[in-house]
Chains A and B, each alone.
Chain A
Amino acid sequence: DGGITQSPKYLFRKEGQNVTLSCEQNLNHDAMYWYRQDPGQGLRLIYYSQIVNDFQKGDIAEGYSVSREKKESFPLTVTSAQKNPTAFYLCASSMGALNQETQYFGPGTRLLVL
């Protein structure tokens, strides 16, 4: 089955710790995205990548980092610099890089701070 997988489903972070959220897609999509969703709010773009080995900051990139070494994978690292990381994180992909392309989403990862 083609789709987007995210792991883990739940993630706990201790103070000062970096954690990495996984996102994998087998849709052969060029573009991938990371969004953050806080309670009662819409989605905010953290980072996006239009092609392998290239990525751009979104609206709320501070405290986050990404890599795009393979077309299928776009992991997100939440660093200790992100002071309020508790949120729901969604990964998405689209066929092309244009924002007129439909984005397809993974099941999400909920990050909680201990």
Chain B
Amino acid sequence: AQTVTQSQPEMSVQEAETVTLSCTYDTSESDYYLFWYKQPPSRQMILVIRQEAYKQQNATENRFSVNFQKAAKSFSLKISDSQLGDAAMYFCAYGGAQKLVFGQGTRLTINP
């Protein structure tokens, strides 16, 4: 079974600085997708970014980018120019042949 591990339960960053959240996964599949979701205090899950495993190019969405290392099964999220509104729980998720598998989450705090 696939597993997703987020080794950082909590992270903090100064406003306007850059932070990287880690995610590793375990799978024997070759075709899959990876996701980062944000859960702000409202608790609604919001898609931040998505990566197709067959694409070598790292996905980017404005201030959010990923470092996808397929061989290492690593999928980290980089947030540039951190803003107060980025404070949230961030979940990494793996989507393969079966169900979507979520990590335990990383709580990100932004210090003004």
Minimum distance in angstroms from A65 CB to a CB of chain B: 19
Q: Is the CB of A41 within 8 A of B104?
A: yes
Binary CB contact string for chain B from 84 to 110 against chain A (1 if under 8 A, 0 otherwise): 000000010001111110111100000
Q: Which residues of A contact B33 (CB under 8 A)?
A: 99-100
Residues of B in contact (CB 8 Å), total 25
Binary CB contact string for chain B from 27 to 68 against chain A (1 if under 8 A, 0 otherwise): 000011101010000111111001010000000000000000
Q: What's the Cα separation between A42 and B99 when bound, in Å?
A: 14
Count of A-B contacts with CB under 8 A? 52
Q: Is the CB of A107 within 8 A of B44?
A: yes
Q: Which residues of B contact A101 (CB under 8 A)?
A: 95
Q: Is the CB of B104 within 8 A of A105?
A: no
Tell me which of B31, B95, B102 contacts A43 (CB under 8 A). Answer: B102
24 contacts between A and B (CB under 8 A): A33-B100, A40-B104, A40-B105, A41-B104, A42-B4, A42-B102, A43-B45, A43-B91, A43-B102, A45-B99, A59-B99, A90-B45, A92-B45, A99-B95, A99-B96, A99-B97, A99-B99, A99-B100, A100-B33, A102-B47, A102-B50, A106-B44, A107-B43, A107-B44
